[in-house]
Structure 1
Amino acid sequence: MKRVRSTKASRFGQWAGRQWRRYVRRESEAILWLKSKGLLDCLANVLAWSVRISILLLTVPLVVLVTAIIAIVYVPSKCLGNSIGEPKRWTVGDQDDHKKSVFYDPINYNDPDDPRFDD
């Protein structure tokens, strides 16, 4: 049997799943403790949902902020990285290939004056 290598994404998913199960276990223990102290069932559930919603409202802006920071840092660096260094090579021939042709005339290509041609 082949051993499958786990990726960082799968390890992160497993970690997040363990944390979520841990949270649910603690939440159910807290709800049972509140019920044993005499709190109504519906109030305990409302308290549990309010904790879940507050956690969600705290994490969503954090995720948006981290994404914005990554975009602000990564995208310009990628753009600048492509523009610095060697000039781009043309994929189809050279830009000035038409000047090497036997039938070249600068008028036909809107090129600057060429010393080989007198008008």
Structure 2
Amino acid sequence: MGSDEGAVRVDAWIWAVRLIKTRSLAGAACRGGHVRVNGERVKPAYLVKPGDEVRLRYEGRERIVVVKQLLRKRVGAPVAAEAYVDNSPPPPPREVALAVPVRDRGAGRPTKRDRREIERLRGR
């Protein structure tokens, strides 16, 4: 694709609209095959245009967004949210924090038996 004025690199765009934390992580996600534009796996330099559907698998969640506005620079979250239409499935419910045993203050170091019990409760 040439230097199309109405297009932005996909790695820069998903970083600019805050779908991924850093630009290098965005490039790595593209190279790893976690980014698809209109159903095709793309390289970081692929140019997105308004109307393109971007699918991104990141941190165990799939995001499906349609490009509304092109951004080259990272912007604040409220502005970034207006740059795309989010068609993603709802995020999975957060797991309820496991009950972690609390030791009394001043009880000293846990014994070997205590440590094994703590690790069993944590699921290790």
Q: Would you call these one fold, judging by a TM-score over 0.5?
A: no
More strand by share: 2
Q: Which has the higher contact order (CA 8 A, sep 6+)?
A: 2
**TM-score normalised per structure 1:** 0.24
**TM-score normalised per structure 2:** 0.23
Structure number with larger C-alpha Rg: 1
More helix by share: 1
